[in-house]
Amino acid sequence: MDFALIETLRREPGEGFIRGDLHLDRMEASAAALGFAFDRARVLFEMEKVATGETPLRVRLELARNGDVTVAAAPFDPQPPDTTWWVAIASARLDSRDALLRHKTTRRDTYAAARAEFSGAEADEVILLNEDGAACEGTITNIFARFEPNRPLLTPPVSCGLLPGVLRRTLLERGAAREATLTPGDLAGVSELFCGNSLRGLIPAALI
């Protein structure tokens, strides 16, 4: 069964597409690695067609193997400033040897299975581990932990088996985060835990 490449990003009135170049860079790199046709100008043209209105938008790009691109937009509702997500650990596991985990695709069966282990009332996000029991990522977010105040956030390395998120890349390049292997025990003992993606930013989290 074939799959498509996807990107989800935010458009803000007066600012444009937040981290848009980085999202397109990631899609272009995945297209090159996986044999997809990619025309950056065409994708940008389709993105600009939905970039209307004076409200924030959630924008989803889907790239087919032949280069066809579909862009859909919907109103984006940010989380209230005092939001904390409750997160759980899934029994579903990721295989760190699966190179496709490094690319954002429509192949999401394992993530869907992990999310289905808990109701929305039980957990806002679900973290997946790999075959060695190391923490990888949430179903829609990367994870970040801080053990000491005023120290960089820690986030699992891509070698654990996870998507290199756009927000994650930004934080690493700024020196606000660094890579480290994390276990569920580590996550239970941190002073601060966050889930984050480019669409929503960093969201404070707590394990259930």
For residue range 10-61, what is the model confidence (pLDDT) as tens digits? 999 999 999 999 999 999 999 999 999 999 999 999 999 998 889 999 999 9
Question: In the CATH scheme, what is the code of domain 85-207?
Answer: 3.20.10.10
Q: What is the mean pLDDT of residues 163-176?
A: 98
- Measured CA to CA, the distance from residue 131 to residue 161 in angstroms comes to 9
Measure the CA–CA gap between 176 and 128, rounded to whole angstroms: 23
Q: What pLDDT sits at residue 28?
A: 98
Q: What is the pLDDT of residue 1?
A: 56
Domain with CATH 3.20.10.10 in the chain: 85-207
For 97-117, the three-class secondary structure string (H helix, E strand, C coil) is CCHHHHCCECCCHHHHHHHHC
CATH class of 5-75: alpha beta
What residues does CATH 3.30.470.10 cover in the chain? 5-75
Average of per-residue pLDDT across 64-81: 95
Could you write out the DSSP letters of every residue in 113-162?
A: HHHHTS-TTT-SEEEEEETTS-EEEESSSEEEEESSTTS-EEE--GGGT-
Token output for 106: 């429509």
What three-state secondary structure class fits 42? helix
Q: How high is the pLDDT of residue 52?
A: 87
Predicted confidence (pLDDT) per residue in 76-122, tens digit: 999 898 999 999 999 999 999 999 999 999 999 999 999 999 999 99
Angle, CA 96 vertex, CA 148 and CA 94 arms, to 5°? 85
51-78 mean pLDDT: 96
- Tell me what pLDDT residue 17 has: 97
Which residues pair with residue 191 across a beta bridge? none
Residue 51, pLDDT score: 87
HEC letters along 175-202 = CCEEECCCCHHHHHCCCEEEEEECCCEE
Taking only the tens place, the pLDDT of each residue in 127-164 is 999 999 999 999 999 999 999 988 999 999 999 999 99
Mean pLDDT of 55-76: 97
For residue 97 the two structure tokens come to 């040897």
pTM to 2 decimals?
A: 0.95
